[in-house]
Amino acid sequence: MTIRSALMNVMIKAARKAARGLARDFGEVEQLQVSRKGPANFVTAADLKAEKILKEELSTARPGYGFLLEEGGEIEGSDKTHRWIVDPLDGTTNFLHGLPHFAISIGLERNGELIAGVIYDPIKDELFSAEKGQGAFLNDRRLRVAARADLHESLLATGIPFQGRPGHDQLRQELAVLTEKVAGIRRFGSAALDLAYVAAGRYDGFWERGLSPWDMAAGVVLVREAGGMVGGIDGKPLNIAGPSILASNEALFRPLSKFLTSAKPS
């Protein structure tokens, strides 16, 4: 059995507690109160409830830590060195349509550096966790990124911009460049799980533009601790508030960056 740190136990306890409500609500998805937050971007009662539980649990365990919440925004804490970065329901559209592919994502930043992450898929009961220098795990199993070095054998994941957001032409060009060079490309609708799957070796790479910090924070730690590389699509160091992310193993990172940056919208 994996021996987890006190910090990791705090994050896992919070994720599991919030997930119980999500799992119940998922079983009654037609009964949820739904409001529009923008084109094809929904907020549910379940989403808000999960965020409230996560904030309460994490605040109780680590008083003073700040927060960056998808729904609640930024909350400055008395401890200026630590900040939780939380997405209570990554894959909201899947959730609302009864698709069992969504997750809770909790990342922790210390002095601006991502040091821990938990991504929990309550329907499959898959708990992805990682802490800097301690490795990445799926439940109690150690994770490593896939070892494939041939792009033609690789399976990739990406995201499609929501309706009304820019970037569709750019993505079409990227797909046109890559589809003939890889084994396949998937779009499952949860960036947090996409990154977790790269860490687990299920995907060989993932790229997306226009994500928010809460979409990426936990997954970045997972990929790095599983031996992978994470940066911008242009190959430069990742900025989680920046325009893009690319994650893969070391062998595929530069080729993927090269092909993606060569794709120019018409």
Write out pLDDT tens, residues 195-241.
999 999 999 999 999 999 999 999 999 999 999 999 999 999 999 99
Q: Terminus-to-terminus CA distance in the chain, angstroms?
A: 53
CATH of 6-142, one of 3.40.190.10, 3.40.50.720, 3.40.50.12140, 3.30.540.10: 3.30.540.10
- For the entire predicted model, the pTM comes to 0.94
Nearest-angstrom CA–CA distance, 91 and 75: 23
Q: 6-142 with 151-262: one CATH topology? A: no
pLDDT band at 87 (very low <50, low <70, confident <90, very high): very high
| pLDDT mean over 126-135 | 98
Nearest-angstrom CA–CA distance, 239 and 50: 27
Write out pLDDT tens, residues 165-204.
666 888 999 999 999 999 999 999 999 999 999 999 999 9
Nearest-angstrom CA–CA distance, 216 and 213: 5
Other residues' Cβ atoms within 10 Å of the Cβ of residue 5: 11
CATH of 151-262, one of 3.40.50.720, 3.40.190.80, 3.40.50.1000, 3.40.50.150: 3.40.190.80
**What pLDDT score was predicted for residue 164?**
62
Backbone φ and ψ for 173, nearest 5 degrees, come out as -70, -40
Q: What percent of the chain has pLDDT over 90?
A: 82
Residue 130 has pLDDT above 90, yes or no: yes
Six-digit token pair at 129? 């966790």
| pLDDT mean over 24-42 | 68
Distance of CA 5 to the CA centre of its chain: 22
What are the extents of the domains in the chain?
6-142, 151-262
Residues 6+ apart with CB under 8 A from 150: none
Residue 137 has pLDDT above 90, yes or no: yes
Match 């041939």 to its residue by tokens: 150
Write out pLDDT tens, residues 106-121.
999 999 999 999 999 9
Residue 101 has pLDDT above 80, yes or no: yes
